[in-house]
Structure 1
Amino acid sequence: MLNQLNIKYPIFLAPMAGVSTPALAAAVSNAGGLGALGLGSSTIDGAIHQIKQTKLLTPNAFQVNFFCHEEYKLDKEQEKDWIHFLSKEFFRLGKEAPTQLQQLYSSFKNNDDYTNLLLDTKPKAVSFHFGLPSYSQISALKSSGILTMVSVTQLSEALEAQALGIDILIAQGIEAGGHRGMFNPSRESGIFTSDLVSILIEHPQIQLPVVAAGGIMAGDAIRKMLDLGASAAQLGTAFIQCEESAANQSYKNALFQQKNTQITDIISGRPARGLISQWHQILASCHEVQHSGYPYTYDIAKKLSTLDPAFSIYWAGSNVSNIRRLNAQALMETLIEELL
């Protein structure tokens, strides 16, 4: 399957929504890896623009990514309770808390406009996070020659993805920065990247290529995953600091100033790993309050993060202390040299 992408080196850029850019994706692809665009938070027009811009910057393959979360009707009592719980922080800052929460992102599986934009723009590969699209969507993409991939965090998800026709599995270990890709946010497996790769490679029913993702910062770690049987490795946090990424300077600086990360679901409504911040400290006082779920919870978190730097949201993997301050081309050259 990976041969269809015609990449020279088994290095994937993680498709980080809000951080990846056409320039970053193109730099990785031009260096022989697989660049990526995180489009889950983009509008249809914005996604089309990013894909077209990337194609202008590289003739090589890159992947695009969308969210496949289960959409649901917001529980008004939970909404009210969560807003009330965080209202004291807005009050402290002299601001009014929002009166309601917005659904920031729609799911790929419920929006055929996403499918149609892929059929029109024809990127070489598309990946999915938080779950799977419908069988008809997968069939349409594959019929158009688009390779399909999905993040999985445990064996059951991998088997489900294979049965539905997905082409490549991205094995996301617990070390990964940002959102955990599990299909059901309440069923965390907690499996390390190397262990998950081994589970999938060794399982007799799994017949798909496996890409390792989670906590990988250097070429020797990539080599370890390849030796376990992975076909490639996917890196995200290592590239956030690049000048080509859309992360602001405060985010980039924090990656070099902090070493500790933790997973929590109170920021966005789904478990995600990021640098320790005020969010992780207020966990101690919210045991009796249930957040409103993804992506509604994310709406109020983003609003609060713009008002107080202590609530800044900096997603990062567990090995963040091993990142290097390099632009995308230099980082790719370094990774390739270490790998070879």
Structure 2
Amino acid sequence: MLEKMGLRWPIIQAPMAGVSTVQLAAEVSNAGGLGSIGIGATDAVGAFKMITELQALTDKLFNVNLFVHKAPTHDPAREAAWCEWLTPQFQAFDAEPPATLHALYTSFADDPDMLAMLLETRPPIISFHFGLPSHETINTLKGAGIFLLATATCLEEAREIERAGLDAIVAQGFEAGGHRGMFDPKASDTQLSTAALTRQLVHATHLPIIAAGGIMDGAGIAAALADGAMAAQLGTAFIACPESSADDAYRDALAGPAAHDTRMTSIVSGRPARILANRFANLMDDPSRPSMPDYPLTYAAGKALNAAAKTQQEHGFGAHWAGQGAPLARMMPAAQMVRVLGGELAAILEKT
């Protein structure tokens, strides 16, 4: 499968929306891994710009990631209660919460312009997070010769991906940083580790499995391969690379004590996501916290609060995504990271 995909190393850089950049993805792909960009947080125009820029920087394969979440249901009373609860936090920074909350992102399931743009640019690989688009859309993309992946956090989601006719499954363990790829964020979460989930999916499905979550070095990649994965997807490992868009506060937090205390929380966006421990994450423990609005309405409030805090040089409200392997983060250029990871993996495989 790796040979078919043209990869030198079984290393996939996670498509971290807001953190991964075109330059980061290009460097990873050119070094022999699979670079990725997340376009779920932009529209078709912005995504077209990102994809065409990436195509100009590499002739290697790359992945484009899309959010396929259910559109939010507006509940004015719930949204007002949420903003009222956050009001003291805003006022501490001489600001007020938004008067109304708007969906920041359009789901790919509801975005025909994005589909038309993808058919025009034809990225070699597309991955889905939070769910799957319609069978018609999947068949259209496959008909265009595009290799399709989707994230699964449990066996039921993996089987749905397999029934839909996709080409591979990303097994996202509970250790992973960023948003859980759960199809239904209100469903019970099995919280399976990357290793346990990978083993289950290798045995229970017929599709290639990509292990994701907590993998930071060649030893972690080797363990994923030993569990039956065809490749490993790493996100947190690439945050400290200079090509990522992480700001100085994010990088400092990743290099500090917070790396040893990541939190799975919904407070940032309304969906479960693992972040570095900070002031925002700690608010999750407030017993007076009301019910959250749907994703991404909660995210609109979170982004506004972070922007207000940053005007006062407070960086404890940022969405600093990171997995449980964060203490193992290393700062080096992305291409060097791929080579180091590949070298570590090769050294381990030579001993086995």
- TM-score, normalised to structure 1's length? 0.97
Q: Does 1:326 align with 2:332?
A: yes
1:245-269, CA deviations, whole angstroms, 9 ceiling, x for partnerless residues? 1111211121101221010011100
* Residues in 2 aligned to 1:281 and 1:219: alpha-carbon distance in whole angstroms: 33
Match of 1:231 in 2: 230
* Residues in 1 aligned to 2:339 and 2:332: alpha-carbon distance in whole angstroms: 10
Distance verdict in 2 for CA 1:232–1:78, change over 3 Å:
same
Q: Percent identity?
A: 42
- Secondary structure of the structure 2 residue equivalent to 1:148: strand
Amino acid at match of 2:36: A
**Contiguous gaps of at least 5 residues in structure 1:** none
- For the Cα contact (< 8 Å) 1:5–1:124, is it kept in 2? no
Match of 1:103 in 2: 103
Match of 2:250 in 1: 251
* Residues in 2 aligned to 1:107 and 1:2: alpha-carbon distance in whole angstroms: 30
- For the Cα contact (< 8 Å) 1:177–1:317, is it kept in 2? yes
Decide which moves more: 268-277 or 86-95. 86-95
Match of 2:74 in 1: 74
1:165-223, CA deviations, whole angstroms, 9 ceiling, x for partnerless residues? 111100000000000001010221200000000000112xx110000000000011000
Which structure 2 residues correspond to residues 114-263 of structure 1 after superposition, within 5 A?
114-187=114-187, 188-203=189-204, 206-257=205-256, 258=258, 259-263=260-264
Q: Does 1:58 align with 2:73?
A: no
- For the Cα contact (< 8 Å) 2:27–2:335, is it kept in 1? yes
Which structure 2 residues correspond to residues 272-291 of structure 1 after superposition, within 5 A?
272-287=273-288, 289-291=290-292
Decide which moves more: 91-100 or 50-59. 91-100
- For the Cα contact (< 8 Å) 2:43–2:114, is it kept in 1? no
- Secondary structure of the structure 1 residue equivalent to 2:128: strand
Amino acid at match of 1:127: S
* Residues in 1 aligned to 2:46 and 2:245: alpha-carbon distance in whole angstroms: 15
- Secondary structure of the structure 2 residue equivalent to 1:292: coil
- Secondary structure of the structure 2 residue equivalent to 1:262: strand
Decide which moves more: 57-66 or 287-296. 287-296
Which structure 2 residues correspond to residues 12-27 of structure 1 after superposition, within 5 A?
12-27=12-27
- For the Cα contact (< 8 Å) 1:260–1:275, is it kept in 2? yes
**Contiguous gaps of at least 5 residues in structure 2:** 310-314, 347-352
Distance verdict in 2 for CA 1:134–1:3, change over 3 Å:
farther
1:254-313, CA deviations, whole angstroms, 9 ceiling, x for partnerless residues? 110122101001110000000001122222224551010200000010111122222122
1:127-174, CA deviations, whole angstroms, 9 ceiling, x for partnerless residues? 000000110110000000000100000000000111011111000000
Amino acid at match of 1:157: E
* Residues in 2 aligned to 1:201 and 1:287: alpha-carbon distance in whole angstroms: 43
- For the Cα contact (< 8 Å) 2:73–2:294, is it kept in 1? no
Match of 2:8 in 1: 8
* Residues in 2 aligned to 1:50 and 1:148: alpha-carbon distance in whole angstroms: 19
* Residues in 2 aligned to 1:169 and 1:202: alpha-carbon distance in whole angstroms: 13
* Residues in 2 aligned to 1:286 and 1:86: alpha-carbon distance in whole angstroms: 13
Amino acid at match of 1:39: I
- For the Cα contact (< 8 Å) 2:109–2:133, is it kept in 1? yes
Q: Does 1:28 align with 2:28?
A: yes
- TM-score, normalised to structure 2's length? 0.94
* Residues in 1 aligned to 2:304 and 2:152: alpha-carbon distance in whole angstroms: 30
Pairwise CA distance, 1:22: 1.1
Aligned length: 338
- Secondary structure of the structure 2 residue equivalent to 1:290: coil
Q: Does 1:302 align with 2:303?
A: yes
Pairwise CA distance, 1:102: 1.1
Pairwise CA distance, 1:5: 2.1
Deviating beyond 6 angstroms after TM superposition, the runs of 4 or more aligned structure 1 residues are none
Decide which moves more: 167-176 or 91-100. 91-100
* Residues in 1 aligned to 2:112 and 2:197: alpha-carbon distance in whole angstroms: 32
